[in-house]
Each structure stands twice: as structure tokens, then as C-alpha cells.
Amino acid sequence: MNDKNNSIRQASILLFGLLALLAACAPATPIAKPTDAPARLKVNVQPYMGYAPLLIAKEEGHFHNYNIEAEFVEAASADALPLVMQGQLDMSVAVISAGLFNAIERGGAGRVVLSLSQWNAGDCTSTGIVGRKAQIAPLRNVSTWKGLTMSTNETGFQGMQGFFVHQLLAKNNLTLANLQNSKLSAPAALDALQSGAAPLAMLTEPWITQALSLGYGEILYGGQDALPGAQLSVVVFSDRLLKSPDLGLRVAQAYLDAVRQYQHGASARNVEILAKYTGLEKDLLKKICWTTIPADGKLNLDNVMAFQQWAHAQGQLDKIVNPEKFWDGRFVDLVNKARPK
Amino acid sequence: MNLKNTSWLAPTFFWIGILLIWEWSAHNGGIARLFFPAPSVIVAAFARQTANGELVIALGYTLARLGLGLLLGAIPGLLLGLVMGWSRAVRVVAEPVVAAFHPLPKLALLPLVLVIFGIGEQSKIVMIALAAFFPMLINSMSGVRQIDALTWEVARHYNARGWILLRRVILPGSLPMILAGVKLAVNVALLITVTVEMVTARQGLGATIWLAWQTLRTENLYAALIVIASLGLITNWILERLTARWIPWQSDHMTT
């Protein structure tokens, strides 16, 4: 009996030992189990249409679907860019500007990873030059603009809007120096348009629709007319997201899911979400032009390089930055590969 | 050993040390060069922008706006302040209005000022004048009001009125406060000038700062800040000299 008991005891010890060995050799717990704590992200937003995919992603639960908790931080795009380059923000919208490329060239750690707004041929006008209605006939001829005042937002003739005006003027043997520029808030620009103090206004939506409905002006040129294919804004990831491929991929998936929803345009749900964040009337949101945002998240690199050449010639850019240095297409490629066409 | 002659050594070495640490850190990745470029890079940017005239032109625009704004804001502020300090009747009527408007953040008025005065230089000058007006008014009014009652009594006894009263009693009695008001007005006006230029102008030191930030050329931003800081130092030095000359008993040289 004793021998039998000893054998059972030895077999039990061996069995427990084997089980312990098996447990030790078992694979580690997967990183992105649904029960994991959500990844917290600091995301720059502003209550404008240009941030629509991010607003939709949060409100519609696209971030949540990928186990991400997005904390919105309000900051102007120009102020948010340094923060994302420094890692204080994880993700930011950036307009295509000399500042973006100078920041990367000078060692900023962020990279462009996704496309946001573009102007494409045949689009409605989401950014354009509006002329004063009372002077509209002569204003249609760009060569008559010499010496006139054009109001713009605070960026003036920097960035893509400067490139846009430059292209129009160049075709008529004029330069940016031939125009006066007044940096005005949109309501002040409408007032200046009406009074004639600035008979030309570079406006975006919803102010274009407002200017037209008030009878202050008419659209002279849309961005899509002068610069078809222009890349207006992009999404920039911080070093943290770039170095966390899994998290970066999940953020890209959530963002592109939101872009797909955005592409339904002024659907009842989209209007509801954007009315909530932007404070605009639902009727106005249904009327305005919704800028194109490509569903595949890819950049128009040719246009970005053309912009850089112009900005460099204008003395705004230190040097032209190659796409390999500012564009990280890993996330977009992975998402597009996994998705049905 | 005369300590007074060597007292500059410690702060000088301290600041040189700070600059050397900054320079070293910027070159060795200790600090983000994008936001804190090395002092040598800032000096080079300052020299380049001075040589090509960019900073000089920007300074010219800023000084012109500042000068005009001060002229149109500080002088009416001084005159109204003196009258309000002198006349109780005027004070009773005007003081509630001043009390209501003075604390308003002047920049919040910018959209309204733009609509009323237009988008050109006028609106910028009006903003600067508004900023200079209130400190000047309040200080000159307080200056008159703090003149000793006995002085007023003596003036009345000698039947001093009008110009004589102003020249012999009011101006000398309120001068220390008026000069303090000038200092405040200049500093606040400089602040508003740069801020308004950042928001609305294409030229001027504020516009230079804005452009430097937009293009993330931070060395240009620091170069413009050096000019603004120097401007503040120079104007304060001039006002100190004026204070020392006109009211030597109030000068810093008299204090310990």
C-alpha cells in the first residue's frame, strides 16, 4: 500500500510540476484585449468644420471601438503643432504651412500620417475669394485687383491660401505685393466686404454661405479652381504614436472610420454632431459646402511638394523637406490593405 | 578692496554661465532646439535681420504706432485726469464712466474698434490710445487729489487761480504721480501695440513675432523679443532720467 501511495504522490508531484512548467511557458496576454484599460490620447481639436472627422470619431464611438479614450484639447492649429512636435499632444490637425516643414526639418518629432482636407476639381467651394457685390463685374478680372485690399484670417498670405492667391495673381502678371492684406476675423471681413474697405475676402465655410445669403458678395474663385488637388490640412502624430505601431494603427482605423461617415455629408447624424460641437445652426450646416476628405487617408504629395517650392521661394521655408522625412504612410497602408475596396 | 567696483562681476558671470549652459544644451540635445535655439543662433538671426533692415523697418512701424497712440491717448488722459482731480463736479460725472471702462480688456474691444474705425491704421492707433488713456487719467487724477489740503488752503489764501494755480500748485504737486502714469501708459501701450500688430498687422515687431511663430523660426521670434525688451528698457531709462531731473526727491538715486 505504501508503495502504491508513494507512486501516487510521485505522479501527483510530477503532474503539478508539468502543469507549472506549462503555465510558465504559456504565451503572454495579448496587448489589445477588450478588457484592457483604454489608451488615453490627447487630441487637438477646435469647434470648426475642419476638425469634423475627429469630432465624429469621438461622438460616434469610433475611438471607443478601438479601445481609445480621446481627450480633446482646444488649441489653434498653429499653437498645437509645436505641442505635438514636443509630445505634449498625441495627435493634431495641421494646415499645410511653412511652419509644419520647418518644425520637422529642425528636429520636431512628429510626422504627417493622414490626410485631412483637400480641394479637388469639381468640388463645391469650401474656401474661396469672395468679391464685393457692388463691384463684382470688374472684380471678376483679376488684373483689376492691383492695389485692392483682401481680408484673410490671421495667417495672412502664408500657407496654402497664400499659394492659392499667388497662383491666381501670377496668371495675371501680378504678385502678392500688389495686394493689400488685412488680417480680420470672419465677421469683420464680412463688414469690410459690405462697406468696401476690403472688397476681396478670402473666406471659408460657413462664412462663404453667410456672405452670399446676406448679399454682401459673390464667389470669384474657389480653391478648387486655382489649385485643384491642393492638400489643405493633415493629421500629425506625435513620437509616442509613431513608436507604438499598434496604438497608431488603431487611431488611424478610428479616424478613417469617421472619415467614411463624414463622406455621407450633411446626413442627419453628421449635422447633429457638428451642430453640437461647432455651435452652427443645423439649417446652415445643411447648406454649406463640406470639404473633401479622402477616404483612404492618403496625401497629395505632388501638391505638398509644389507648395514647399513656392514657400521656399517666398523665403518662408528653410529648405524643401522630402516626403520620406515628413510623411509616414505605414498606418494608412495597413488600414487600406485590410479594408475591402 | 572697493566692493562697489566689482559688484557687477557676480551677476555678469551668472548670466554668462546661464548662456553657456543654454548654448551647450541646445547643441547637445539637452533642450529642444526648435523652441530654444542656441543663443549664438539667436544672435546670428538678430544680426542678419538688422543688417537686411527687417528689424529696423519693423521697429519703425511699431514706434510710429506707439508714438501716435500715446499722443492721442496719454495727453487727453492727462488733461481729463487733472480736471477730474481738480473739479469735484467733473469727477462725480466722469468717475463712474471711467470706473466702468477702465477694467474692460482692451483687446476685447478690437472687433468693435475695427468696425467703427475701419481696418487700416486708425483702428490700431485707437486701440493703443485707449490703452494709454486710462493709466494716465487715473494717475493724474490721483496726483491732484493727493495734494495736501494745506497747500490748497494757502493757494486759496493767496487767491491763486487758473494758470497760476495749475503751474504753481497742481502740476508740481501731482508730477510724481503723473510721471508714474506716463511709465504705466508707455508700458501698457507697448504691450497693446505688439499684441494688435500680432493679430492684425503685416508690419511691425508684433507681426514679425507672429510670422516667426507661424513658420516656427523661433530664432526670429527671440530676435524680435530682444528688440521689444530693449525698447522697454530704453523708454524706462529715459523716464527715470526725466524723473530724476524734474522731481529729484522722488528719484531712485535718493532711495536706499
Rounded CA separation B180/B3 (Å): 32
- pLDDT surpasses 80 at B208: yes
- Asked if residue A268 and residue A218 are part of one domain, the reply reads no
Contact B211/A86, CB-based, under 8 Å? no
> With contacts defined as CB-CB under 8 Å, which chain B residues touch A192?
119
The alpha-helical segments, DSSP class H, found in chain A are 2-25, 52-59, 62-65, 77-86, 98-105, 136-139, 159-170, 186-195, 207-214, 223-226, 239-242, 245-262, 268-278, 282-287, 301-313, 323-326, 330-338
Contact A86/B32, CB-based, under 8 Å? yes
> With contacts defined as CB-CB under 8 Å, which chain A residues touch B215?
97-99, 102, 158, 316-317
- Is A199 among the domain residues? yes
The pLDDT tens digits of the residues spanning A107-132 come to: 888 999 999 999 998 899 999 999 99
Look at residue B32 in the predicted model and tell me its pLDDT: 81
Find all residues with CB under 8 Å of A23, minimum gap 6, and list them: none
Q: Would you place residue B256 in the very low, low, confident or very high pLDDT band (cuts 50, 70, 90)?
A: very low
Look at residue B170 in the predicted model and tell me its pLDDT: 86
> With contacts defined as CB-CB under 8 Å, which chain B residues touch A78?
213-214
Q: Compute CA distances B112 → B55, B93, B103, B227, whole Å.
A: 30, 25, 17, 30
The pLDDT tens digits of the residues spanning B133-187 come to: 999 999 999 999 988 888 888 888 888 778 888 888 888 888 989 999 999 999 9
> With contacts defined as CB-CB under 8 Å, which chain B residues touch A318?
217
Helix/strand/coil for B12: helix
Q: Would you place residue B4 in the very low, low, confident or very high pLDDT band (cuts 50, 70, 90)?
A: low
Instruction: Give A290's DSSP letter.
Output: P
Q: Would you place residue B47 in the very low, low, confident or very high pLDDT band (cuts 50, 70, 90)?
A: very high
The verdict on B202 touching A (C-beta cutoff 8 Å) is: yes
Pick among B28, B110, B119, B221 to test the A interface (most A CBs inside 10 A)? B119
- Is A29 among the domain residues? no
- pLDDT surpasses 50 at A15: no
The verdict on B46 touching A (C-beta cutoff 8 Å) is: no
Contact A108/B34, CB-based, under 8 Å? yes
Of B119, B210, B211, the CB nearest to A192: B119
Q: Of A326-340, B146-160, B184-198, which one has max mean pLDDT?
A: B184-198
Look at residue A110 in the predicted model and tell me its pLDDT: 92
Q: Would you place residue A35 in the very low, low, confident or very high pLDDT band (cuts 50, 70, 90)?
A: low
> With contacts defined as CB-CB under 8 Å, which chain A residues touch B202?
156, 181, 183
The verdict on B42 touching A (C-beta cutoff 8 Å) is: no
> With contacts defined as CB-CB under 8 Å, which chain A residues touch B201?
183
- Is A54 among the domain residues? yes
- Asked if residue A92 and residue A178 are part of one domain, the reply reads no
Domain boundary among A195, A226, A257: A226
Domain boundary among A197, A226, A255: A226
Contact B119/A151, CB-based, under 8 Å? yes
Hey, which residues 121-180 in chain A have their CB within 8 Å of chain B?
149, 151, 154-156, 158
Higher pLDDT, B254 or A106: A106
- Is A33 among the domain residues? no
Q: How far is B227 from chain A (nearest CA, A)?
A: 21
- Asked if residue A238 and residue A216 are part of one domain, the reply reads no
Contact A97/B214, CB-based, under 8 Å? yes
Of A154, A158, A197, the CB nearest to B118: A197
The answer to which of B14-18, B74-78, B150-154, B224-228 has the lowest mean pLDDT is B150-154
- Asked if residue A333 and residue A210 are part of one domain, the reply reads no
Q: Would you place residue A30 in the very low, low, confident or very high pLDDT band (cuts 50, 70, 90)?
A: very low
The verdict on B31 touching A (C-beta cutoff 8 Å) is: no
Look at residue B254 in the predicted model and tell me its pLDDT: 44
The verdict on A270 touching B (C-beta cutoff 8 Å) is: no
> With contacts defined as CB-CB under 8 Å, which chain B residues touch A158?
211, 214-215
Q: Would you place residue B7 in the very low, low, confident or very high pLDDT band (cuts 50, 70, 90)?
A: confident
Contact B216/A102, CB-based, under 8 Å? yes
- pLDDT surpasses 80 at A300: yes
The pLDDT tens digits of the residues spanning A237-288 come to: 999 999 999 999 999 999 999 999 999 999 999 999 999 998 899 999 999 9
- Is A14 among the domain residues? no
- Asked if residue A47 and residue A75 are part of one domain, the reply reads yes
Angle between helices B218-246 and B205-214 (to 10 degrees): 160
Rounded CA separation A243/B2 (Å): 60
- Asked if residue A216 and residue A131 are part of one domain, the reply reads yes
Domain boundaries defined on chain B: 39-244
Rounded CA separation A130/A150 (Å): 9
Hey, which residues 24-53 in chain A have their CB within 8 Å of chain B?
none
The pLDDT tens digits of the residues spanning B159-170 come to: 877 888 888 888
> With contacts defined as CB-CB under 8 Å, which chain A residues touch B210?
154
Q: The complex's ipTM?
A: 0.71
Rounded CA separation A287/A52 (Å): 16
The verdict on A105 touching B (C-beta cutoff 8 Å) is: no
> With contacts defined as CB-CB under 8 Å, which chain B residues touch A86?
32, 34-35
Q: Is A304 exposed, middle or buried (0-12, 13-18, 19+ CB in 10 A)?
A: buried
From the centroid of its chain, how far is CA B143? Answer: 19
The verdict on A319 touching B (C-beta cutoff 8 Å) is: no
- Asked if residue A334 and residue A248 are part of one domain, the reply reads yes
- Asked if residue A184 and residue A333 are part of one domain, the reply reads no
Q: How far is B27 from chain A (nearest CA, A)?
A: 12
Find all residues with CB under 8 Å of A92, minimum gap 6, and list them: A43, A44, A77, A80, A81, A83, A84, A110, A235, A236, A238
> With contacts defined as CB-CB under 8 Å, which chain A residues touch B36?
none
The verdict on A81 touching B (C-beta cutoff 8 Å) is: yes
What is the pLDDT averaged over residues B12-40? 89
Higher pLDDT, A32 or B80: B80
- pLDDT surpasses 80 at B66: yes
- Asked if residue A328 and residue A304 are part of one domain, the reply reads yes
The verdict on A88 touching B (C-beta cutoff 8 Å) is: no
Contact B215/A154, CB-based, under 8 Å? no
What is the pLDDT averaged over residues B237-246? 88
- Asked if residue A256 and residue A212 are part of one domain, the reply reads no
- Is A32 among the domain residues? no
Contact A99/B200, CB-based, under 8 Å? no
Which of these, A256, A268, A289, A316, lies nearest to A53 by C-alpha position?
Answer: A256
CATH number of the domain where residue A168 is located: 3.40.190.10
What domain range includes position A136?
A: 127-226
Give the residue on B whose Cα is nearest the Cα of A194.
B115
- pLDDT surpasses 70 at A10: no
- pLDDT surpasses 60 at B2: no
The verdict on B215 touching A (C-beta cutoff 8 Å) is: yes
- Asked if residue A282 and residue A155 are part of one domain, the reply reads no
DSSP string, B62-98: HHHHHHHHHHHHHHHHHHHHHHHHH-HHHHHHHHHHH
The pLDDT tens digits of the residues spanning A180-230 come to: 888 888 888 998 899 888 999 999 999 999 999 999 999 999 999 889 999
What is the pLDDT averaged over residues A308-325? 93
Domains contained in chain A, number: 2
What average pLDDT does the structure give for chain B?
Answer: 88
For B39-244, give the CATH class: mainly alpha
Contact B33/A185, CB-based, under 8 Å? no
- Is A258 among the domain residues? yes
Look at residue B29 in the predicted model and tell me its pLDDT: 80
- Asked if residue A187 and residue A280 are part of one domain, the reply reads no
- pLDDT surpasses 90 at B72: yes
What average pLDDT does the structure give for chain A?
Answer: 87
The verdict on B114 touching A (C-beta cutoff 8 Å) is: yes
What is the pLDDT averaged over residues B218-224? 94
Look at residue A26 in the predicted model and tell me its pLDDT: 40
